[in-house]
Structure 1
Amino acid sequence: MRSSAGNIKAQSPLNTDTVPHVIPFILSRLEAHTKAHVPTSSPPPFFVGLNGVQGVGKSVLVSQLKKTLESEPYNLRTAVISLDNFYLTHEEQQRLAKANPTNPLLQHRGQPGTHELPLARNTFRALRERDAVKLPVYNKAAFSDQGDRCPEAEWIPVNQEPSSIVRVVLFEGWSVGFRAFAPQRLGEKYEHAVSALRSAPDEYEGRLAHNTLRSLTTVNEALRR
């Protein structure tokens, strides 16, 4: 695991033994964050981003971190948000897929471009401003595992009372913190991948060369938003 400036990158399987190593990191950054907002008595929450490949244990880790941070001796109100919870609704995802029939990266949820950015922006803005807000919830099992956003009545309310304002936000997702490549750089990486596939098709293990540059550019541009 590597960490820097409020972002945690998981490179190997995570478990509850990881928590004692992460808590001091969060607390030290939270202290610096709080000092940076003196003299205000109402600083925005401290946002922590965590990314890692699917199945590495991100959800388990943030759940344990939340439990620890909200317990003695810290007593820090903590909100957990998954990037998955901002996926488009099933209906919106279907429309996106139909609008991009030749792009396999947009036929299902997962890639940049399959999330509702206005919802994400409004949610994070409310958290930053310490306003009452409901955190969206996504049901991956809906529509035979195609997934759909849960009704708003099932969303998680936070900041409902002055005594329960969120102090720490744990934001996890496989692409949290990702940045778009410059178009030229993306083109170079794509040509390198295609060359590798052509020269040794039985040895090529990547996915880049199995897509068109146009499809990859669409996803890359979504990261800019």
Structure 2
Amino acid sequence: MTPSLDRIAAATRAWLAAADGPLILGLCGAQGSGKSTLAAGLQRRMEAEGRRTAILSLDDLYLSGTARAQLADTVHPLLRTRGVPGTHDALRGIAILDSVKAGEALLLPRFDKGRDEPFDREEAAGPVDILIFEGWCVGARPQAESALAAPINALERIEDPDTVWRRHVNRQLWGIYAELFARIDRLVLLAAPDFGVVRDWRGEQEETLWASKASGAMDAAQLDRFVQHYERLTRHILAEMPGRADLTLQLDHNRQPGATA
């Protein structure tokens, strides 16, 4: 992980030097790509250099189970599963990023994936010089409507045959998520070599959960279905985002960076 961290830290120092006020750094990467580890490492380095730094994960903006159940009832059953645009409190995210820019103290939400619910307590942080905003689809842009018609996996073919779910997700990216991501100053992409490795990387996370006897760990069949929720947008990000990200790290299957862009 150190080569990736070294490159991101060097770029961040340059961006900070050119910034007029606090820096919001977007960190995008597929599930299991090492975003959280890199974000924590970058926070430690920046704070060691005297930069006040906080982390906001897109995952910590997930809606409650009750709110997602309402979406499942009124829009599409697949929205009960957290993950895709539309299952986060994007308005809360916008308020937090605006507070960063205003130099205000922050209250950062945290999400308990074991319970599949937000934690009752939030994390307080003072005004910051850097907010690292990390998540699997941070900075994502919508697809063309024509790209949504054909299903790309069994989940879409069987459970979203009328394209209601994927069109709803795409509309979120045109709307409130575009407003959220527009507040990012610099965008870093951890680019997986292909989508196939994402299933393997996420499988490693589930093996860790099984070993720790954590609640909510998925078996192989559950995991196969789960990652299909993320496949369309992950593939789109890997095809579209490298051309506009401020820094792209092309990762190999061991999460080590090769070329940068």
Normalization by structure 1: what TM-score? Answer: 0.71
Change (3 A) 1:190 1:48: same
> Are positions 1:17 and 2:3 aligned together?
yes
Provide Cα deviations, 1:97-141, integer angstroms capped at 9, x if missing partner: 1223xx343121111001112211211111111112210011000
Whether 1:179 and 2:141 are equivalent positions in the alignment is yes
The residue that corresponds to 1:12 in the other structure is: none
Match of 1:59 among 36, 39, 49: 36
What code does the residue aligned with 2:119 have?
Answer: C
Q: Please give the alpha-carbon distance, in whole angstroms, between the structure 1 residues aligned to 2:137 and 2:125.
A: 24
Structure 1 residue 23 displacement after superposition = 0.8
Distance in structure 1 (CA, Å) of the matches to 2:52 and 2:155:
41
SS in 2 for 1:76: coil
Residue in structure 1 matching 2:118, options 137, 142, 149: 149
Q: How many corresponding residue pairs? A: 173
Q: Distance in 2 between matches of 1:89 and 1:206?
A: 27
Mapping of 1:155-194 within 5 angstroms?
A: 155-159=122-126, 165-181=127-143, 185-187=144-146, 189-191=147-149, 193=150
Alignment match of 2:58 (pick from 76, 83, 90): 83
Asked if structure 1 preserves the Cα contact closer than 8 Å seen for 2:65 and 2:80, the reply is no
- Answering whether residue 106 of structure 2 is matched by residue 126 of structure 1, we say no
CA distance in 1, matches of 2:3, 2:17: 23
- Counterparts of 1:26-105 in structure 2, within 5 Å, are 26-33=12-19, 37=20, 43=21, 45-71=22-48, 74-100=49-75, 103-105=76-78
Match of 1:220 in 2: 170
Amino acid aligned to 2:85:
P
TM-score (norm 2): 0.62
Q: Measured at CA, do residues 156 and 18 of structure 1 come closer, stay the same or move farther in structure 2, by a change above 3 Å?
A: same
Q: Assess, with a 3 A threshold, how the Cα gap between structure 1 residues 141 and 24 changes in structure 2: closer, same or farther.
A: same
Over aligned residue pairs, what C-alpha RMSD do you find? 1.8
* In structure 2, C-alpha distance between the alignment counterparts of 1:48 and 1:129, rounded to whole Å: 16
What is the distance in 2 between the residues matched to 1:94 and 1:111? 14
SS across alignment from 1:50: strand
Which residue type is aligned with residue 90 of structure 1? G
Partner AA of 2:83 in structure 1: G
CA distance in 2, matches of 1:220, 1:89: 21
What is the rounded CA distance, in whole Å, between the counterparts of 1:18 and 1:206 in structure 2? 34
CA contact (8 A) 2:24 2:97 kept: no
The whole-number CA distance in structure 1 between the counterparts of 2:83 and 2:52 is 29
Unpaired segments ≥5 residues, structure 2: 177-261
Counterparts of 2:153 and 2:83 in 1: how far apart (Å)?
20
Q: CA deviation at 1:213?
A: 2.2
How far does the alpha carbon of each residue in 1:185-214 deviate from its partner, in whole angstroms, 9 at most, with x for none?
A: 322x234x35xxxxxxxxx76865553322
AA aligned to 1:89 is S
The percent of aligned pairs where both chains have the same amino acid is 29
Does the CA-based 8 Å contact 1:48-1:169 persist in structure 2? yes
Structure possessing the higher radius of gyration over alpha carbons: 1
Q: Which residue number corresponds to residue 249 of structure 2?
A: none
Letter in 2 for 1:66: Q
Q: 1:97 to 1:84 in 2, by over 3 A?
A: same
